[in-house]
Structure 1
């Protein structure tokens, strides 16, 4: 069923990486959980939901290792990074087709992620997705998600007002970041905020002319909903 959502005019579409473009959440959870166990910590589901998925590493470390010195946090984080870099990742269903459709329009594309350049470049090269006009990694900002700074930095570089931007995010931290930056947001496999449109994956959304959720600025076509076949 078509969700009830006001049509917005869009000039830029921005994506998170983990859980939105690549199916990586379980890999991330495993990397943090196994490393925590090596340091004598057991992470709860609340820790995972609130402090790991979609969050910056500094935000995560402040909450799960609050009493540890900076040297210990850095060593911990290096182990997490190595585990993530050693993994391989599949694309979220439908995302390649959807991005290819967007490339044919006048809309600009952005990637805003809590991951680091090494991982981002590997993933984009592996899947031949070097299509983004702007890429913001954790190295580009002093404060990561759920702070709005990553998305504010992206739209400043794209020179586009927040109201004309659409974000695809899967985590509560990422959604909080995008909304706090004043941007429109569609949730991916996350129905926590009932006021947001939500897709399970990108097979449910397309670029066309019918039943538009978001219309590209100055054009009759845009991003619309379609039911799975």
Structure 2
């Protein structure tokens, strides 16, 4: 049934979102904007432009054009300095099994440097395409990230499955007209109701993906 699988990165492949959230909170504080980690989790999946716009607007401010790159650089530095992310148990072995049977891609809202560094470290030589938040004009929940991933894989949308853990990511996949599996990591599963199926945890996800190999092959 499916020929390609597209994964979100943070919270699906790598337990890295706590370090993203901490980095954003610290950087916004430098610009005089109070943000909680919970607020960051609620908009997980947005690229840096979206995140900056959301919280500047909440603060009643408008970011100057040259602030986007400056904030991104600071956020990236905070993340890299404090990052202690780990791969979710069993996911690397699962993706090694999927490799060669499906085309595999990542569609993340994080910046290119962070995404590629995490994938190179935890999932070397696994993915056929990686789409970062810097590779699109419109981040999640816009369908562009998943549309770009499908194009990179050279497949049709109906032939691709998306795995997401964030409401904006699920919305992005559904806006692209794609089948989406929800996996609650940092939010309750009820937040992912727009997904076609919501699994309990990564253990269930690994079983689900393993079953796909038997069904589709």
Using structure 1 for the length normalisation, give the TM-score: 0.80
The equivalent of 2:26 in structure 1 is 34
1:121 alignment partner in structure 2: 116
Aligned counterpart for 1:97 among listed residues 93, 97, 105: 93
Aligned runs of 1:63-82 on 2, under 5 Å?
A: 63-66=54-57, 67-82=62-77
Alpha-carbon distance in structure 1 between the residues aligned to 2:69 and 2:123: 31
Q: CA deviation at 1:113?
A: 1.0
On the 8 A contact 2:25/2:36 being kept in 1, the answer is no
Matched residue SS, 1:43: coil
User: How far has the Cα of 1:35 moved from its partner?
Assistant: 1.3
Q: Distance in 1 between matches of 2:193 and 2:27?
A: 34
| Bigger Cα displacement from structure 2, 190-199 vs 134-143 | 190-199
Tell me the matched-pair count: 205
Tell which structure's C-alpha radius of gyration is larger.
1
Deviations 1:94-113 (A, max 9, x none): 211210221252x1111111
The structure-2 alpha-carbon separation of the partners of 1:128 and 1:171, relative to structure 1 and needing over 3 Å to count, comes to: closer
Indicate the RMSD between aligned Cα atoms, in angstroms: 2.2
Determine which of 49, 52, 55 is the counterpart of 2:46.
55
Unaligned 5+ residue runs, structure 1?
1-8, 224-229
Give the distance between the partners of 1:89 and 1:75, measured in 2 at CA: 24
Aligned twin of 1:221: 215
1:194 matched residue in structure 2: 193
- Partner of 2:33, secondary structure, is coil
Are the counterparts in 2 of residues 93 and 201 from structure 1 also a CA contact under 8 Å? Answer: no
Pick the aligned partner of 1:176 from 171, 175, 179. Answer: 171
Specify the SS of the correspondent of 2:180.
strand
> Which residues of structure 2 form unaligned runs of 5+?
none
Structure-2 residue corresponding to 1:23: 15
> 1:91-144, CA deviations, whole angstroms, 9 ceiling, x for partnerless residues?
022211210221252x11111111223222221222243211111112322111
Query: In structure 1, what is the Cα distance between the partners aligned to 2:52 and 2:21?
Result: 14
SS at match of 1:115: coil
What is the distance in 1 between the residues matched to 2:194 and 2:111?
31
TM-fit CA distance, 1:84: 1.4
Q: From the superposition, tell whether residues 94 and 59 of structure 1 become closer, same or farther in structure 2 (CA, over 3 Å).
A: same
C-alpha contact (below 8 Å) 2:143/2:176 kept by paired residues: yes
- Residue number in structure 1 paired with 2:133: 138
Q: Secondary structure at the match of 1:135?
A: strand
Give 2:157's match in structure 1, choosing from 153, 162, 181.
Answer: 162
